[in-house]
Amino acid sequence: MRMMLAAAVAAIALATPASAGPWSDEASHLAFVAPDGWNVRQLPAEGMTYILADAGSKECHILASQRPETAEISPERIRAGGETPIGNPAWAQIPGALPTVFAADAAVTQSSVDTSAFWPVQRADYNSQGQVVHAAIQFRPGVEFWGFCFSRTGADDAATYEGVLRSIAGTTDAELQANIDDRRRGRRRDQEARDAGSRSAMDEAMRNTLQDRAMEAVGRSQ
């Protein structure tokens, strides 16, 4: 991965800027929204889509990394797995693979999982040479979306970076969510059918019991 990212860095000067605003790539399933006035560059990188969005000293590095080993896992399982924190030890390994983003002294200061949206987002902040790096990771079948936003110099712009990181999504998210919703509805229908069957059997048993008691009462009265 380090070699792929190094190649991407070397290509920054050759990349063609794109306009700010919504950006998407169907091949990698990556989508996000760049702030007004920012430049967006797609950099050559083997095995991933690497986007650099920047304005002056403010930068967001957004990656879509292909994960063939998870491609056949159901969207529901991927989503559920994303609710489990990856933990600080996993976050601590990332700076070494991204020298374009992190200084050698980068350290995790906090990590969490944001479940406020449909797709959980792994979140972390780093202290990197005195600057705050805001990080986000999301999982989808066959792909991971990584985002890192920070200021090279000057003050942190947490609100802007939060907006960019929250905008990262998959171009097939609507389809994946529909798949999950269909599975849930199917399970609910199955459960309702089982419940209805249980109620029917119980009602039948109660009717039989009442009939037996009625016949016993008639027999005693004769």
21 and 54, same domain (yes or no):
yes
Domain count across the chain? 2
Same domain (yes/no): 50, 160: yes
- Together in a domain, 101 and 204: no
Give the chain's length: 222
User: Do 191 and 165 share a domain, yes or no?
Assistant: no
Indicate if 115 and 180 belong to the same structural domain: no
Q: What is the mean pLDDT of residues 32-43?
A: 95
Q: Assign residue 71 the CATH number of its domain.
A: 3.40.1000.10
Instruction: Clarify whether residues 20 and 64 are in a common domain.
Output: yes
For 177, counting Cβ atoms within 10 Å of its Cβ (0-12 exposed, 13-18 middle, 19+ buried), the class is middle
**Is there a single domain that holds both residue 27 and residue 125?**
yes
Given a contact cutoff of 8 angstroms between Cβ atoms, the answer to whether 62 and 53 are in contact is yes
Which of 170, 189, 207 is the endpoint of a domain?
A: 170
Same domain (yes/no): 63, 21: yes
Express as a percent the part of the chain with pLDDT over 90.
69
Stated as kind and residue range, the H or E segment containing 108 is strand 107-114
Do 49 and 62 fall within a single domain?
yes
Spatial contact of 101 and 77, defined as CB atoms under 8 Å apart: no
pLDDT greater than 90 at residue 56: yes
Q: What's residue 46's pLDDT?
A: 85
**What does the pLDDT look like over 126-157, one tens digit per residue?**
999 999 999 999 999 999 999 999 999 999 99
Per-residue pLDDT, averaged over 69-76, amounts to 96
Q: Strands of 21-25's sheet, edge to edge?
A: 21-25, 30-34, 169-170
Are 166 and 216 contained in the same domain?
Answer: no
- Specify whether the CB–CB gap between 122 and 86 falls below 8 A: yes
User: Is the same domain home to 157 and 214?
Assistant: no
> Can you spell out the DSSP letters for 42-75?
EEP-TTEEEEEEEETTEEEEEEEEE-GGGTTS-H
Closest of 132, 85, 138, 88 to residue 110, by C-alpha:
88
Q: Looking at the structure, tell me whether residues 105 and 210 fall in a common domain.
A: no
Containing domain of residue 205, as a range? 172-222
Q: Strands 48-55 and 39-43: what pairing?
A: antiparallel
Name the more confident of 32 and 199. 32
